[in-house]
Chains A and B, each alone.
Chain A
Amino acid sequence: MSETKKQHKMNETEQMPSRRSFLFIFWVGLGIVAFIEFIGVVTAFLLPRKKKTKTGDFGTIIEAGKADKFSLNSVTAFIRGKFYLCRLEDGGFLAVSRKCTHLGCTVPWSDKEKKFVCPCHASAFDIRGEVISPPAPRALDVYHLYVENNIVKVDTGKRIKRSGFRTDQVVYAKKA
């Protein structure tokens, strides 16, 4: 009996293969599209949302204070802005991120040794954020910094990755 059924089925497929196979492919195709949509929705849902505060917006710019206030070769911590304001020996300013480039620990400044030493894996950086000893792979990030009316301002919305220290990263107050 089953054989006759099979025979019957085969006859059917032979008679109208195009409609059957078309519908089959159509449904499989729809299934694949639905699956892709599903993945897309889930991914879009889970992706981190864009930050509303953009560079230059209110809240990302921190007024560090008057330029003369900071002595040469000194480092001042800004906890709210998560950066250090470093004044180099030549009077130039650098806003250095406190986040270690190795694995993201917060690096404290040691005034005695004149360097940043990461407590997690012992990376060390000099006052310019340059790597003194690994495992950190690159210099500490810097923030965009400018001097307005002799007041040092740091834009914490603009973090700049860098491989090493370059003199054009330093900002001087003398122009004003």
Chain B
Amino acid sequence: MKPKHKPSPETTGFFHQLFRSIFPYPLIPKSDQERKRYLLKNLILHFRPPTVPEKTLKFSLTWGLGGMAALLIILQFGTGLLLKFVYKPIPVAAYSSIQMLQNEVMFGYLIRNIHHWCANFLVLIVFLHMLRVFFTGAFHPPRQFSWIIGLGLFGLVLTANFTGYLLPYDQLAYWAVTVSTGMLEYIPVVGNRLQEIIQGGNEIGPATLSIFFAIHTAVVPVGLIILMAFHFWRIRKTGGLVIPRASGEDIEKKPVRVPTLPHLLLREVVVALVLIAVVMVVSVSFDTPLGDSANPGLSPNPTKAPWYFAGLQELLLHLHPLFAVFIIPLVLFVTLMGIPYLKYDTNTEGIWFASIKGRKMALIAGLIAIAAGPMGILADEYLIDFAAGLSGIPTFFGNGLIPFAFIFFGCAGFYILIKHRYSASNNETTQALFVFILVVFLILTVTGTWFRGPGMKLTWPF
């Protein structure tokens, strides 16, 4: 029985009153009208809009990626909270506390596995989410700043992964972080100081571990909560997701809307359950590796960065560190930040790959990159020995400025050529260049992860 009017205190019992004070709305709403009200009154659900445009429910618009990222972050909060009860952030105890976690704590290994795999998925999912937003043109006004906040979130996720990497304090952790923080030294002017601040001294040690632990368990989570709230709020304020449309269709001004509950929430719950199932299967099947205890006197061969930094590491093998560590990442970062603020010929929001022509150009750019990337790597490895061939020139030029200029003018030439060849809009051309750089970066990552063996020489992965 559902009371239609507010029950007067005299006619209901104490527990009924208590219940109503906590849940002042029917627990299971029956009509659309009730569901809308329910959404507004529920603490957890009220940040969703009461209705959403029907077309944005299409799975192939979002692939559920944003929701997946949010869920993974929640899983990380949960498992991280548990791990915090066992882990000891000092070098002499860190490694053994992980051993204890795995061998003595009930479900310890499972919790660590979930944390580990969610972290890896998170980088992947956030990256794919960013690609989805780019390729559906969802960065055009008024959604420009959501893209910037999204980049901030991506940065936080990478920071979380990187700082978490050191915590087990095994050989892999110690040397990967040594190499990664070693990169900071090449940032001009402030590099040395920055490295010292992050390491808490001249080398990885107790200070580094406490700094990384603090960043990992306090700075990043707080940052994530703030930026996520900001991100979601921006999505609401900019009218929700982009409405998908075919190339040539106009942007819909008054789309058909349906109640969020049940239409959107049901789909989100399905995606969430599938994702949780995948995470659980992976976490039960594949154990997180724990190497030997960290030994500052012995660098393992090869010492590799985690896979999400493998592209950067691959770049380091080819270019002067100043370019690999500072100039190229800086150029990429500024470019990514600038994407929503460029002046475009048209607003392509909601159209996958901007147009049919855009799709074709993106494909061609990808294919060229697949051909050019490995060729470049192989050529640098075996044919062009900059150190020997250009021995008269300092490595800053031979291994840095000259290849960088080559890459830069290569990209510029590519842009002009493909724009001219297809007489395309700058939306399509920018996208083609983005695809080109993206695929080259992916090739670098794949090479760094699977095709580098002892002494960082090229090998087959199997």
**Contact A134/B178 with A106-B296, A118-B299 known, Cβ cut-off 8 Å:** no
- Cross-chain contact of A105 among B197, B303, B395, B457 (Cβ < 8 A): B303
Q: Is A59 an interface residue (CB 8 A)?
A: no
Known: A121-B456, A134-B387, A135-B321. A104 touches B182 (CB 8 A): yes
Interface string of B180-200 (1 = CB under 8 A from A): 011101000000000011011
A118 surroundings in chain B (CB, below 8 A)? 299
Using A48-B200, A105-B178, A134-B387 as known contacts, say yes or no to A119 and B455 having CB atoms under 8 A apart: yes
Given contacts A119-B301, A120-B456, contact A134 B207 (CB under 8 A): no
Judge whether A105 and B179 touch: CB under 8 Å: yes
A176 beta carbon closer than 8 Å to chain B: no
**C-alpha spacing A135/B317, complex, angstroms:** 7
Question: A16: CB under 8 A from chain B?
Answer: no
Interface residues of A in 119-144 (CB under 8 A from B): 119-122, 133-135, 137
Partner of A120, one of B199, B207, B303, B387: B303
Complex formed: what's the CA distance from A44 to B116 in Å? Answer: 34
Q: Counting CB contacts under 8 A, is A41 at the interface?
A: no
Chain B interface bracket (under 10, 10 to 19, 20 to 34, 35 or more): 20 to 34
Q: Is the CB of A48 within 8 A of B197?
A: yes
- Whether a CB of chain A sits under 8 angstroms from the CB of B316 is yes
* Beta-carbon contacts under 8 Å, A61-117 to B: 79, 82, 98-99, 102-108, 117
Chain B contacts for A98, CB-based, 8 A? 297
Cβ-defined contact, B197 with A103, below 8 A = no
Contact A135 B316 (CB under 8 A): yes
Q: Answer whether residue A1 sits at the interface, using C-beta atoms and an 8 A cutoff.
A: no
Near A by CB (< 8 A), chain B positions 446-462 give: 454-457
Contact digits for B204-216, partner A, Cβ 8 Å, 1 yes 0 no? 0001000000000
B38 interface contact, C-beta 8 A: no
B302 within 8 A of A: yes
Please tell me if B201 contacts chain A, counting CB pairs below 8 Å: yes
Asked if B348 lies at the interface with its beta carbon under 8 angstroms from chain A, I say: no
Question: Taking chain B's interface residues, is the majority helix, strand, or loop, or is none over half, making it mixed?
Answer: helix
Size band of the interface chain A makes with B: 20 to 34
Question: Is there contact, CB below 8 Å, between A137 and B196?
Answer: no
Contact A104 B203 (CB under 8 A): yes
Residues of A within 8 A of B317 (CB): 121, 135
Complex: how many Å from CA A161 to CA B248?
A: 63
Chain A residues, CB < 8 A from B320: 135, 137
- B456 with A122: CB separation less than 8 A: yes
Instruction: Select from chain A the residue with minimum beta-carbon distance to B179.
Output: A103
Cβ–Cβ contact B303 & A119, under 8 A = yes
**Residues from chain A with Cβ under 8 Å of B297 in the complex:** 79, 82, 98, 106
Q: Which residues of A contact B134 (CB under 8 A)?
A: none
Q: Mark A40-67, 1 if CB is under 8 A from B, else 0.
A: 0000001110010000000000000000
How long is the Cα–Cα vector from A99 to B181 in the complex, in angstroms?
13
Instruction: Tell me the bound Cα distance from A135 to B441 in angstroms.
Output: 21
Cα separation A84 to B186 with both chains bound (whole Å) = 25
Residues in A whose Cβ lies below 8 Å from that of B200: 48
A28 to B311, CA, bound (A): 47
User: Which residues from chain B contact A102 at a C-beta distance below 8 Å?
Assistant: 182, 321
Closest residue of B by beta carbon distance from A103: B182
Cβ–Cβ < 8 Å partners of B185 in chain A: 103-104
When chains A and B are docked, how far (Å) is the Cα of A135 from the Cα of B302? Answer: 15
Partner of A122, one of B196, B296, B298, B455: B455
> Closest CB of chain B to A54's CB: distance in Å?
14
| A103 vs B305: C-alpha distance when bound (angstroms) | 12
Inter-chain CA distance A108–B316, complex, in Å, is 21
User: B162 contacts the other chain (Cβ, under 8 Å)?
Assistant: no
B76 contacts chain A at the CB level, 8 A cutoff: no
Residues of A within 8 A of B457 (CB): 122
Among candidates A82, A106, A107, A133, residue contacting B387 with C-beta atoms closer than 8 Å: A133
A105–B296 Cα distance when bound, in Å, is 9
**Known A48-B201, A133-B387: A104·B181 in contact at CB below 8 Å:** yes
Contact A120 B299 (CB under 8 A): yes
Decide: B299 and A119 in contact? CB cutoff 8 A: yes
Binding site for A on B (CB under 8 A): 175, 178-179, 181-183, 185, 196-197, 199-201, 203, 207, 296-303, 316-317, 320-321, 387, 395, 399, 454-457
Which 4 A-B pairs have CB atoms at the shortest separation, nearest pair first? A103-B182, A119-B301, A104-B182, A105-B299
Inter-chain pairs besides A51-B201, A137-B320, 17 sampled, C-beta below 8 Å: A103-B182, A103-B316, A104-B182, A105-B175, A105-B179, A106-B299, A107-B299, A108-B298, A117-B455, A119-B299, A120-B175, A120-B302, A122-B456, A134-B387, A134-B395, A135-B395, A137-B321
